[in-house]
Amino acid sequence: MGKLGTSRPLSCRKAASLVAEETYSTVPHTFVFQRGQIGRNVGQLVLDIRRVMEPFTARSLKVRKKNVLKDFVAVAGPLGITHFSIFTKTENSINMRLARLPKGPTLYFHVAKYTLIKDVISSLKRHRMHEQQFSHHPLLVLNNFGIEGMHIKLMATMFQNMFPSINVHKLNLNSIKRCVLLNYDPVSQEVEFRHYSLKVVPVGMSRGVKKLMQEKFPNMSKLEDISELLMKGVNLSESEAEQDGDHNITELPQVYSGRGNMASQQSAVRLTEIGPRMTLQLVKIVEGMGEGKVLYHSFVSKTEEELQEMLNRKEARLKEKEERKRKQEQNIALKKEKRDQNNFTVAICTGSNLFFNSIDMFPGAKRKRGPGKSPKPFKKRKLSQGKGPPHDKKSFKLPDRGNKYGGKRFGDRKPPEGRNRFRKSEGGKKFGQKGGKGCRFAGQKKGDAGKKFGGPKSFKGRAVLRNNRKVLEEKRT
């Protein structure tokens, strides 16, 4: 028998995954990274800001030295990244940029002061921070951002868009575990950044009852009756008595996690700082993504004439850029036309055979054919025996020359072949004459050292040829 009810949970999981994907794609996401050398402490501040922006950020984002801002912009689109928080450090200050993708604006802040998470926690007697708090986005609270001024409103809008918006009527209170507070001081024109952990406890009962509700049983060895614990609250430390008042007591519309937090009951909301802290000062606002028109500057103020001159210079640069782009496109088109004209190779497909006809680019260099000659290609010429390619007289040297004057030694000469071997040399000595004095080879052929010079010789070359011809004729017949 098969299992019952297996299809319904599967469909529920699919529906939940679709809802999660839709919710994930609609909320803002932020990249927090650094540019350049920032040091160990500022690097830890970057990791703490990533901790604040969880879960809609890249906690383990790796940044290399060769990465440029265009690399992050190219990756941000497919991943659904909407904001950049970039930290840089100079010799005199630490700066933070908040940019809205893809076309800006970009806000430049000077980090006047900062405190890391580890320093904030070490200063607290009791801190509340656990992993479940970072499974949901923090609640954003803005204070004193209603002051008139374009830069104030733009700054408040930028901070609001970095965190997911909430619907009060559909909000689940158990998803709110953290709070981010941004307070603007109009006198010093600084923004205070704080990060808190949120806790809700019931009110209207004694400290002893709260102990019992929280399953932290006190030491009752000195009490005679449990009523002393409920009525007097003895043997409890003063640190456990929290100072609650009208500023943090409210009525819960829903059941909140924790013992005693029931709907329509009075509960106190307590905040515990978990860090980091930052004191920010707005420097300027740029229209684009890291470049463009300066909308606001806290240190430099310009008149209308100077602003108009800047706009004119910018328009002139844009016109020059368009002109260069137009010329480049024309040059590319001309190069393409020349390339097409110089390409004389044509592919001709006939059936399944592929032939290539190439047109000679230099018709004047063709070998001329005589009238009546066949159009067949020329045959390669073979060099006859004893003939070779011409040598350069300067570079060509005979190996092992006989003397310093360049002549050959007599022993290196090859005997001539055929009838020419018995011809008399022109303008020289006769073959039978003796050589000069002291020459042992004078008038003597190489290899005939045993014969006397000038003796009878018989020539048998013609008789051998006749015998060979007779043998060939007999074979043919």
Pairing of strands 139-143, 178-185: parallel
pLDDT of amino acid 416: 55
Handedness of CA 164, 169, 174, 176 (dihedral sign): positive
Distance between alpha carbon 440 and the CA centroid of its chain, in Å?
89
Residue 142: φ, ψ to 5°: -110, 135
Residue 283: φ, ψ to 5°: -100, -55
Q: Tokens 């592919």 label which residue?
A: 347
Handedness of CA 218, 222, 225, 229 (dihedral sign): negative
H helix or E strand, kind and range, residue 79: helix 69-79
Q: Nearest Cα to 228, choosing from 237, 218, 238?
A: 218
pLDDT of amino acid 461: 60
Whole-angstrom distance, CA of residue 97 vs CA of residue 188: 20
Whole-angstrom distance, CA of residue 240 vs CA of residue 222: 19
Indicate the SS3 state at residue 446. coil
Q: Is 269 exposed, middle or buried (0-12, 13-18, 19+ CB in 10 A)?
A: middle
Q: Is 28 exposed, middle or buried (0-12, 13-18, 19+ CB in 10 A)?
A: buried
Q: Nearest Cα to 292, choosing from 314, 317, 309, 319?
A: 314
Helix segments in 125-264, DSSP class H: 150-161, 207-213, 226-231
pLDDT of amino acid 236: 46
pLDDT of amino acid 127: 79
Q: Nearest Cα to 363, choosing from 376, 382, 344, 347?
A: 344
The CATH architecture of the domain made up of 17-223+251-297 is 3-Layer(aba) Sandwich (3.40)
> What are the pLDDT tens digits along the chain (477 aa)?
455 545 557 777 788 777 777 777 889 999 999 999 999 999 999 999 999 999 999 999 999 989 999 999 999 988 899 999 999 999 999 999 999 998 889 999 999 999 999 999 998 887 788 888 899 999 999 999 988 888 999 999 999 999 999 888 888 888 899 999 999 999 999 999 999 999 888 876 666 566 555 555 666 667 777 666 666 554 444 444 456 677 778 888 888 877 767 787 788 888 999 989 999 999 999 998 888 888 899 988 878 888 788 888 888 998 999 999 999 999 999 998 888 887 755 444 444 444 444 444 445 555 556 666 666 665 666 655 555 555 554 444 555 544 545 555 555 555 555 545 445 444 555 555 554 555 555 555 554 444 555 555 555 566 667 777 788 888 776
pLDDT of amino acid 98: 96
pLDDT of amino acid 463: 66
Handedness of CA 192, 197, 198, 202 (dihedral sign): negative
pLDDT of amino acid 353: 46
